Amino acid sequence: MKVKNPVASERRRFLKGMAAAGGTAALAAMTHEATSGENEATSGEAPGKRSKGYRLTAHIRDYYRSLRI
C-alpha cells in the first residue's frame, strides 16, 4: 500500500487556491472594466459641474490599457 505524501498534497491544495484566487481577480478586473463606462454616463452630475480632481480621460485610459499584460 502506498502512503500519501502530506507535503505534496498541501502543495497541490496551495496551487489550487492560487489558481482560484487568480481567476477571481481576473473576473473582478473584467467586471470593473465593463461597468466603468456606465458610471461615467450615469453619475447624475451636470456636465459643467465636474470636480477638479482626478479625471479619467481617453489618453489616460490608453496608457492604462498599454500597461496590461
**Can you give the pLDDT of all 69 residues of the chain as single tens digits?**
566 777 778 888 888 888 888 888 888 887 766 666 555 555 555 566 656 788 889 999 999 999 887
The secondary element (H helix, E strand) that includes residue 18 is: helix 6-41
CA distance 32 to 9: 35
Residue 5: the pLDDT is 73
Read off the pTM.
Answer: 0.37
C-alpha cell of 35? 461597468
Residue 10: the pLDDT is 85
Q: What are phi and psi of 5, to 5 degrees?
A: -85, 115
